Amino acid sequence: MLSRMADNLYWLSRYTERAENLARILHVAQRLAALPSAYAGASNEWESAIATAACADEFEALYPDGATRENVIRYIVDSSANSSSIKACIETARANARAVRTAITSEMWEILNEGWNEMRGIEFDGISQSALTQFLQRVQQMSLRFDGAAYRTMLRSDQYWFQRLGTFIERADNMARLLDVKYHLLLPEKEPVGGGLDYFQWSSILRSVNALTSYHWVYRENVKPWLVADFLILRPEQPRSLISCYLELNDYLDKIAEAYGRQGPAQHIARSTTARLQNAKMDQIFQSGLHEFLVDFIEENNKLGAAITQQYLS
């Protein structure tokens, strides 16, 4: 298939996935901000939302008065200055979809087109709490439906595989960032792991990836930071964990390599990252530094993205 078409499919999925993750982050921030401070802890949820969305520097330059609810919502939801705002993500996803109309199914197109049309009718300036909640839910639903439509309607060929690669690269990146920022904020240097942590803060991480209930099913324990990390990094049962994303990435890259009769750097990088995740133990990760581990991972993930682009998309 044309490289441009594969590129469109790949980014179409990345942007849809990114929009969903941003919506989840804001959704949780909104929930936490509504708690009395005795429950929510001292940290500023809106600041944490900005840090998770990986855009703190740009945000500070644009909004000198800081991470207020209004500023954060405006910036993450509909700022034209932010090329990764939810609105920009949906715009970009639709533009990519329009360019490859024949490569995606009509179901996929209609879901994106509908989401885009709906979004254009919303006035975000001074948006009410309930309207915002509803919008964030609609974005998550759109991404879920899009994912489902791709899964259920796309022909299993390289078009589908590139579409999936985009989803899982983005999901792995977003998950690693979310964990890194939360740990950074919630676990000050001098505080020992497991000490004086707030249940609501930790469960918010799980909640933002829709994993709170499943956590209890897997661990049958109270929410504990190292178990949250274990769940979201190393457990293959958790579909958004880093290892799950990498098992999928490996799988689709293998399918592509098999279909094309050759493999390259992308397959090697994915395989070595997967092996590292499979061999890792949570206590070792904590000993050598979770932050360092996650920073390394994000870098490796970016390398994989670059290798996929180099090998197939340009």
Partner 1 sequence: MSAAPAAAFFDEMNVPDGGVRAGYEVISEWLKQAPRELLVNRKLEAEHFFRRIGITFNVYGDNQGTERLIPFDIVPRVLTSTEWQKLVRGLEQRVKALNAFIADSYGDREIVAAGIVPEELILQNPAFQPEMTHFTPPGGIHVHIAGIDIVRVDADTFYVLEDNARTPSGVSYMLENREAMMRLMPELFGSLRVAPVDNYPDALLETLRSVAPRSASRDPTVVLLTPGPFNSAYYEHSFLADKMGVELVEGRDLLVRDNFVYMRTTEGPRRVDVIYRRIDDDFIDPIAFNPSSMLGVPGLMSAYKSGNITISNAIGTGVGDDKAIYSYMPEITEFYLGEKPILSNVPTHRCREPEALRYVLSRLHELVVKEVNGSGGYGMLVGPHATKAERDTFAAKLKAHPDDFIAQPTLALSTVPCFVDSGLAPRHVDLRPYVLCGADGVRCVPGGLTRVALKEGSLVVNSSQGGGTKDTWVVET
Among 4, 152, 268, 281, binds partner 1 (CB under 8 A): 4
Q: In this structure, how many other beta carbons lie within 10 angstroms of the beta carbon of residue 64?
A: 7
- What is the rounded distance in angstroms from the CA atom of residue 257 to the CA atom of residue 253? 6
Q: Does 162 bind partner 1 (CB under 8 A)?
A: yes
- What is the rounded distance in angstroms from the CA atom of residue 2 to the CA atom of residue 159? 10
Residues in the chain, total: 314
Return the biggest CA–CA distance within the chain: 59
The DSSP element (H or E) to which 202 belongs, if any, is helix 199-208
- Assess contact for 244 and 304: CB atoms under 8 A: no
- What is the rounded distance in angstroms from the CA atom of residue 30 to the CA atom of residue 49? 10
Q: Does 3 bind partner 1 (CB under 8 A)?
A: yes
Residues in 38-67 at the binding interface with partner 1, rule: CB under 8 A: none
Q: Which stretch binds partner 1 (CB under 8 A): 27-35, 82-90, 97-105, 181-189?
A: 97-105
Q: In this structure, how many other beta carbons lie within 10 angstroms of the beta carbon of residue 80?
A: 9
Q: Does 260 bind partner 1 (CB under 8 A)?
A: yes
- Assess contact for 206 and 223: CB atoms under 8 A: yes
Residue 245 CB, nearest distance to partner 1 (Å)?
A: 21
- Assess contact for 163 and 13: CB atoms under 8 A: yes
Q: Does 34 bind partner 1 (CB under 8 A)?
A: no
Residue 2 CB, nearest distance to partner 1 (Å)?
A: 5
Among 98, 224, 276, 303, binds partner 1 (CB under 8 A): 98
Q: Does 281 bind partner 1 (CB under 8 A)?
A: no
Q: Does 160 bind partner 1 (CB under 8 A)?
A: no
Q: Does 256 bind partner 1 (CB under 8 A)?
A: yes
- What is the rounded distance in angstroms from the CA atom of residue 157 to the CA atom of residue 35? 48
Residue 101 CB, nearest distance to partner 1 (Å)?
A: 6
Q: In this structure, how many other beta carbons lie within 10 angstroms of the beta carbon of residue 280?
A: 16
Q: Does 314 bind partner 1 (CB under 8 A)?
A: yes
Q: Does 232 bind partner 1 (CB under 8 A)?
A: no
Residue 256 CB, nearest distance to partner 1 (Å)?
A: 8
Cβ nearer to partner 1, comparing 99 with 193: 99
Q: Which residues bind partner 1 (CB under 8 A)?
A: 1-4, 6, 98-99, 101-102, 158, 162, 256, 260, 312-314
